[in-house]
Chain A
Amino acid sequence: MQSNAALEYDYSLAKKFTFLTILFGILGMLVGTLIAAQMAFPELNYLLGEYGTFSRLRPIHTNTVIFGFTVSGIFATWFYLGQRVLKVSIAESKFLMVIGNIQFWLYFVGALAATISLLFGVSSSKEYAQYEWPFDIVVVIVWVLWGVGMMGLIGIRREKALYISVWYYLACFLGIAMLYLFNNMAIPTYFATEGLGSILNSVSMYSGTNDALVQWWYGHNAVAFGFTVPIVGMIYYFLPKESGQAIYSYKLSLLSFWGLMFVYLWAGSHHLLWSTVPDWMQTMGSAFSIVLILPSWGSAINMLLTMKGEWNQLTDNPLIKFMVLASTFYMLSTIEGPIQAIRSVNAIAHFTDWIPGHVHDGTLGWVTFMIMAAIFHMAPRMFKREIYSRKLMEAQFWLQTTAVVLYFTSMWIAGITQGMMWRAVDEYGNLMYSFIDTVTVLHPYYAIRALSGVMYFIGFLMFAWNIYKTMTAGKELTQEPQFRTPMA
């Protein structure tokens, strides 16, 4: 990778989306911590009257961390690294700048409005697709604007070959577009009648078992194309850039990319094992989930091997630590998922806390760690200042790592305990426990999980503070650092 000092890149959009990443991160994680605490201490449900119950707040947590925090992070890193790997400044095209700014404002206002709508219970109720139809339309427009901007930048590029990261961002755009459109197909009832009832209500185009299939084809792959694909795209850029090492293997990148593209979407039906979905679909979901280990571990191993012979950087540079840990959690998460997709395991794991446990070792350990690492890498280059405090970064790393470990271990125990208790029978074959027994037994694990949430949230505030101080009080840099990010 050669540096290209001759070209001045325009980071105004990357900066704006970085602010949103931090803002939505704080909001989404705050709500997440609150609802985790509610499960241990139910009195916390009554802080905001009707609007403060676990059930009302849970979609706000999920949607804000997905469509607020993660998507902002994807946009921020795209507007940073897109220019650099394509060797073109976005400011070279007025059109692309205008499109990018419209995308930003529409996204910001739309995301806030959609969050408020969920607070009022306006929800189409499909998981991670709760926004009602007017907000869906805003999401689609924002997404198309991003796509136009991306294609435009690719159109005026100087570097002819698309770098690996661009493959992943392109796939993220195409995948989410397809999934989101099909899953949210609905008819607004107000317009299908003579203006009867609420203008916001709509009814799904699919019913029952079909609706479930479409939903989990979406739900699973929103994870694929939102939480995996673009994050892999990030690490393919930021790890080599930060460490000064070339990617270990091009062939492995190729195999992992096309493997991931083909295999991931089949696995959606593993969310519906033992349901009324036909057996052969369930089996396909299970089988492809196991196959999915290959491309997932392919990327992760490619990243770890990139550090070959350079492991001393792990002790010198906390940023490398963030990224290596992210890869490691990615490996943990992508072996855990396939295990849960095995029918007999799923019979115990499904509907229990093991599932949120699995989700969070991926999202907290992999997605959020990688996005924070990316912002730590970008900040000195965007603001032309050193990272404010290395010590704070180290402290944050250990606090959050401990938090993730507490989170998933407590949820493993909680999930397996509950799954086993639901099915336990006495010597005469009668159920041993009433349902409430399986709830009260979980209290200590819920309390540990709430504690881990508080720790992770404090870590995120430390991150936000560090970035804020970097912007305002970091030592100014005269020259852009080539590899290792400078920090005080």
Chain B
Amino acid sequence: MFFHWLEKNPFFFAAAISIVISFAGLIEIVPNFAKAGKPLVDLKPRTVLELAGKHVYMKDNCQSCHSQMIRPFKSETDRYGDYSLSGEYAYDRPFLWGSKRTGPDLHRVGNYRTTDWHENHMMDPPAIVPGSIMPAYKHQFTNIADIETAYAEAVTVKNAFHTPYGPEFQRTRAAWDAHRPKVLADAKLIADDMRNKDVKEAVANGEVPEIVALIAYMNSLK
């Protein structure tokens, strides 16, 4: 019998397993790959500050409680806005859809929350939303965001995947030094809308607290 033979020939056994388990991936993922990666026509990649904010989002693992995927149900579009489209995520590496909504969806949070709302909320969530079980993220007001890494990521995706960043995005340190003031200018726009003195001071001194980058990212979620 074939199976008895197979059980005595480990090499062919392993080969048989490998073939049988690879079908699904080949048929489900590969054929649609190019199409699923297409961006919406007017989709813009995130700025360096927003990317740095996305890193803060990932560092504090916000996606363990918040989704970024509005499903096509009336109850969801009423609550969060238009349902999500594949092309909106085309520059998201990694995707941050999440798998659990302990807190609300955030895919269009930029449409209905403001900088000062986030500032107050991240400092003390239950004070803004009574009954909230979300912890405060006070450390984001003092920790400094890593904008250089965000820039490196923008350059990497531009070169590797043709994400449409401008010609000024280059691999060199000189290019980064030239771009840095632009990031700080963006950060100042956010800090201007905030109350926290230490945050304003840090930005004035050329540093970007994590909270500023995070709010820039949240405001870009529309």
Q: B197 at interface (Cβ–Cβ under 8 A)?
A: no
Q: Give the residue name and chain of the B residue nearest to A120 (CB).
A: B59
B160 to chain A minimum Cβ distance, whole angstroms, is: 6
Minimum CB–CB distance for B45 against chain A, Å = 11
B156 touching A192, Cβ below 8 Å: yes
Instruction: Given A351-B67, A439-B132, answer yes or no on A213-B23 (Cβ-Cβ < 8 Å).
Output: no
Chain A nearest CB from B9 CB (Å) reads 9
Is A194 an interface position by the 8 A CB rule? yes
* Interface presence of A431 (CB below 8 A): yes
Do the beta carbons of A201 and B153 come within 8 Å of each other? yes
Interface residue A204 (Cβ < 8 Å from any Cβ of B): yes
Q: What are the interface flags for A165-190 relative to B under an 8 Å C-beta threshold, 1 for contact and 0 otherwise?
A: 00100110011001000100001011
**B10 near A209 (CB under 8 angstroms)?**
no
Q: How far is the CA of A214 from the CA of B30 in the complex (A)?
A: 10
Q: Is B79 an interface residue (CB 8 A)?
A: yes
Q: In whole angstroms, what is the CA distance A439 to B65 when docked?
A: 12
- A174 and B14 in contact (CB under 8 A), knowing A436-B129, A439-B131? yes
A208 touches B92 (CB 8 A): yes
- CB within 8 A of A208: which of B14, B95, B126, B176? B95
On whether the beta carbons of B8 and A162 are closer than 8 Å, the reply is: yes
| CB 8 Å contact bits of B67-89 with A (1 = contact, 0 = none) | 10101111110110000111011
- Contact (Cβ within 8 A) B24 A215: no
Do B101 and A431 touch (CB < 8 A)? Answer: no
Interface residues on A, range: 35 or more
Distance in angstroms between the alpha carbons of A177 and B13 in the assembled complex: 16
Q: Given the interface contacts A203-B93, A208-B36, does A352 sit within 8 Å of B101 by beta carbon?
A: yes
A478–chain B nearest beta-carbon distance, Å: 36
Q: Is the CB of A193 within 8 A of B14?
A: no
Q: Which of A41-49, A94-102, A371-379 contacts B (4 or more CB under 8 A)?
A: A41-49
Knowing A196-B148, A213-B36, A439-B133, the reply to whether A356 touches B17 (Cβ < 8 A) is: no
A189-228 CB mask vs B (1 if < 8 Å, else 0) is: 1101111111001011111111111110100000000000
The reply on A50 being an interface residue by CB < 8 A is: yes
| Cα(A357)–Cα(B201), bound, Å | 46
* Interface: B111 (CB within 8 A): no
How close is B21's CB to chain A, nearest CB, in angstroms? 6
Given A56-B60, A162-B7, A193-B152, the answer on whether A215 and B94 have CB atoms closer than 8 Å is: yes
Distance in angstroms between the alpha carbons of A315 and B161 in the assembled complex: 62
Stretch of A19-27, A271-279, A390-398, A454-462 contacting B (4+ beta carbons < 8 Å):
A271-279
Decide if A53 is an interface residue (CB 8 Å cutoff): yes
> 15 A–B contact pairs at CB < 8 A?
A53-B60, A54-B135, A59-B61, A125-B96, A190-B152, A192-B171, A208-B86, A209-B37, A254-B3, A261-B21, A274-B72, A275-B84, A276-B69, A436-B129, A436-B131
In the assembly, what is the distance between CA of A208 and CA of B95, in Å?
5
Measured CA separation A155–B104 after assembly (Å): 54
**A-chain residues with CB within 8 Å of residue B161 when the two chains form the complex:** 207
